[in-house]
Structure 1
Amino acid sequence: MAGTMAGMVGGLLGSGSLRAALAIAGAMLLTGGTLAIDRHLAMSRIKLRVAEARSRGMGLVIEEPEDRPGFVTAVIGALGSVITASGLLSSKTREELEQTLRAGGLMTSHNLEIFIGAKIVLALGLPVAAYALLHHVAIRPFLFFAMVAAAAVGGLMLPNMIVGQRRKTYLKAIERGLADGLDMMVICAEAGLALEATIQRVSIEVVHAHPKLAAEFTTTYNELTMGSDTRSALINLGTRTGLASLKRLGATLVQSIQYGTPLSLALQTLATELRQETLTLFEERAARLPVLLTIPMILFILPCVFLIVAGPIVVQVMKAMKH
């Protein structure tokens, strides 16, 4: 009986149907995890609040938009919820993940669970897909298992890479529009608007040109108007993203409120400093161009110069050797 069962299991393991099933399962897991990261992590509530604020002409949105995730996202989010509720993640690790998502504008009530669930799905799905694809390839067993293990590690690190790239894009978009936002804040402050009204107005006006910056200003305005401490709300403007420029803006606004300095003068000084730093950064990049052009010149230009200069001499030497 035991021999018969072993033979049946061996036959199933060697059959093509099991390999096809593994390939399909791995493809489904990989597709579901990739879609969850690329699509649903990007649907943050901050963007929806800004869109609703534009339609209403207001900077404060009280009602939360309802999230209706798809089936795949719901399953992945449920898996992430199980992991987060089980206590496997330490509080420090959870805070670091939340900070990473928050710095990329992706921190909502479900994105953390989707992020963790996607890591688990990809860490399990990619090795299954790699096993199904490499099963018939003639490679050494050590290399085969090494590639399967590499697929598992890659699936575990892929969400971090995607979120990290989105975080860099998000922060660069904020930095590009911060100087323009500060100039508009100066105009509003000189017009006599209060700090809350200034932040609200700027968040509405720059939403078309710099939506990421508008989202951060909208969040800050919401915190200011919902009874939060003014100092904490302004400090959180830089803490959420980790940008030094936003931290300086929050500190400047806090000092202006604390010591009674003119808000327009402080903002104008900060805007001038940021534009000067941007100009200095461009000058540094321009100064590196000669060094960066050295490698293309060696690879593409110098061989052509040598060919033109030494080519006739080589041809004459070859003719002389034939005679």
Structure 2
Amino acid sequence: MELLISLLSGLSFTLLSYVFLFHLYRDKITVQSRLQQVGSLLSWRKKYLDEKLSQPFFERVIRPLLNLVAEKLPKGTRAADSKQKLDLQKKLLMAGNPWDLTAGEYLALQYAMMIGLALVCLFLALPSGASPLVLVLALLLGAILGYLLPNYYLGVLATRRQEEIQDTLPDILDLLTVSVEAGLGFDAALVKVVEKSKGVLAEEFSRLLQEIKMGKPRRDALRDLGLRSGNEDLQTLVGAIIQADQLGVSIGNVLRLQSAEMRGKRKQRAEEKAMKAPVKMLIPMVLFIFPTLFVVLLGPAIMQMMKTMGN
């Protein structure tokens, strides 16, 4: 009984001491807890700001503005609600998806360039004291340029990308054929091609492998590769590989035949360009070289004739 009384007395004294100390330092404990919460919040915000500031200017400023403009567009002109979405998305894919733009962001950028160039042309025409008709024409000219320039730039990117794919396809296909014939599987051969090659086609094959690893069927991934490239030779290769996979034909034989065909096509394109070269050279020769030759050869004779007739 004495031991129980001692334990109860000690426990009561401890509880009373804790209550007394908590009441005495309650404000200090509350302030410290609040300071810890504020400190954790500030550290989290600092980390968030550092991550945001480490991103490029386009990701921090331009892309949010494009998304805001795309959301504010009228419903009939939004890329997500109109028939332009598929066409724009296809063009962006064929151009390599510059800046990872979506169809809505591209359309917003196009409208922003229309308004911006129209205002620039107007400000350039104002100091000259032009008539209202000229100012209106300047606005229309700027708007037309702002609408056409993004499409032109996108077309140039798509053309360069397709030309690079067309030029590098035979060499990469040779490497792929050698890897398959050496005993590697098709996916392992693609990995070897990605390791040994650089350029647009190597990046596309790397994306193909990533899609297959994520669980996408190989046939669908290959079809998407052909659609993204927009190149007829690559689409032909993809179709042959898919058909060989469906029929159970050896992929090595298919790749060997496709490689020979691609090299033949590249040789034909080189011969075609060589035959077009004289015709293309004729225009600068007529405009720049022939007049100079005429001046050098006939100039002294004409001056002599003018001097003789003058005497």
Same fold by TM-score, threshold 0.5 exceeded? yes
Structure-2 change in CA distance of 1:190 and 1:85 (3 Å): farther
What SS does structure 1 have at the residue aligned with 2:107? helix
Q: Which amino acid aligns with 2:223?
A: I
Is residue 71 of structure 1 aligned with residue 57 of structure 2? no
Tell me which residue corresponds to 1:182.
173
Tell me which residue corresponds to 1:288.
276
Pairing of 1:1-323 with structure 2 (within 5 A): 69-83=59-73, 88-89=78-79, 90-106=81-97, 110-206=101-197, 210-323=198-311
Q: d(CA) in 1 for partners of 2:111 and 2:195?
A: 39
Q: d(CA) in 1 for partners of 2:127 and 2:56?
A: 47
What SS does structure 1 have at the residue aligned with 2:59? coil
Shift of 1:187: 1.5
Q: d(CA) in 2 for partners of 1:292 and 1:86?
A: 46
Shift of 1:173: 2.0
Q: Which amino acid aligns with 1:72?
A: I
Shift of 1:309: 4.1
Shift of 1:183: 0.9
Structure-2 change in CA distance of 1:289 and 1:110 (3 Å): closer
Contact 1:120–1:156 at 8 Å: present in 2 too? Answer: yes
Tell me which residue corresponds to 1:37.
none
Contact 2:94–2:230 at 8 Å: present in 1 too? Answer: yes
What SS does structure 1 have at the residue aligned with 2:264? helix
Contact 2:191–2:206 at 8 Å: present in 1 too? Answer: yes
Shift of 1:68: 8.2
What SS does structure 1 have at the residue aligned with 2:97? coil
TM-score computed with the length of structure 1 as normaliser: 0.71
What SS does structure 2 have at the residue aligned with 1:227? coil
Q: Which amino acid aligns with 1:93?
A: Q
Contact 1:181–1:202 at 8 Å: present in 2 too? Answer: yes
Q: Which has the higher contact order (CA 8 A, sep 6+)?
A: 1
Structure-2 change in CA distance of 1:83 and 1:218 (3 Å): farther
Q: d(CA) in 2 for partners of 1:222 and 1:66?
A: 25
Structure-2 change in CA distance of 1:66 and 1:128 (3 Å): closer
What SS does structure 1 have at the residue aligned with 2:128? coil
What SS does structure 2 have at the residue aligned with 1:88? coil
Shift of 1:259: 2.2
Q: CA deviation digits over 1:276-318, x for unaligned, max 9?
A: 1111111111111222222222233333443344334323322
User: Where do 5+ consecutive residues of structure 1 fail to align?
Assistant: 1-64
Shift of 1:213: 0.9
Identity %: 26
Structure-2 change in CA distance of 1:70 and 1:306 (3 Å): same
Structure-2 change in CA distance of 1:110 and 1:316 (3 Å): closer
More displaced 10-residue stretch of structure 1: 81-90 or 253-262: 81-90
Q: d(CA) in 1 for partners of 2:186 and 2:168?
A: 19
Q: d(CA) in 1 for partners of 2:287 and 2:300?
A: 21
Q: d(CA) in 2 for partners of 1:239 and 1:84?
A: 30
Q: d(CA) in 2 for partners of 1:200 and 1:70?
A: 34
Name the structure with the higher helix share.
2
Q: CA deviation digits over 1:216-248, x for unaligned, max 9?
A: 111222222322233222222211122101111
